[in-house]
Amino acid sequence: MKIAILGGTGNEGFGLGFRWAAAGHDIIIGSRLAEKGASAAADMLSQLPENVSVKGTDNLSATQEAELVVLSVPYSAQEKTLATVKEALAGKLLVTVAVPVGEKAARVWRLPSGLSAAEEAQQQVGDITRVVAAFQNISAHHLMDMEH
């Protein structure tokens, strides 16, 4: 499966991509800047066997190419990122790992909307795609540890 990870240059997105690439999926690391996506892809490839498929690009291109899209950006970047890729999400499943956390990781914000980050994402993209929340309690450290 072709999986785009928007924000795949961050720890959580990189870890998810690492695991899925190792399992044989085609990974497209998206970033605001194509160069950052390409750099993260090169880093990931250096840590995996030669027979994996990983490439990096900008978020919009990654979304256009993928069958499944993972939103792995900080909550504060969710709205802007989704606005950039909204039309390309049509008919695809969007998985978000976003959690609105405060200054300390143990503090979760109460959103003014009263919704979860995933519910807000669904409202923003409307009916063109379905949004699900997942992987919110798996640390990037554990994702990178293939023994875990």
| Structural domains in the chain, sorted by start | 2-144 (3.40.50.720)
| % of the chain beyond a pLDDT of 70 | 86
Q: Two tokens at 103?
A: 């200054």
Q: What is the pLDDT of residue 114?
A: 73
Q: What is the pLDDT of residue 83?
A: 98
DSSP 59-99: HHHHHHH-SEEEE-S-HHHHHHHHHHHGGGGTTSEEEE---
Low-confidence residues in the chain, pLDDT < 50: none
Q: With contact defined as beta carbons under 8 Å apart, do 62 and 73 qualify?
A: no
- Classified as helix, coil or strand, 27 is strand
Helix or strand holding residue 144 (H, E):
helix 140-144
- Give me the sheet containing 68-71, strands edge to edge: 53-58, 26-31, 2-6, 68-71, 93-96, 130-133
Note the pTM of the prediction, 2 decimals. 0.88
Q: What is the pLDDT of residue 102?
A: 58
> Rounded to whole angstroms, how far apart are CA atoms 30 and 8?
6
* Per-residue pLDDT tens digits for 21-56: 999 999 999 999 999 999 999 999 999 999 999 999
Q: What is the pLDDT of residue 86?
A: 98
Q: What is the pLDDT of residue 112?
A: 67
- Classified as helix, coil or strand, 140 is helix
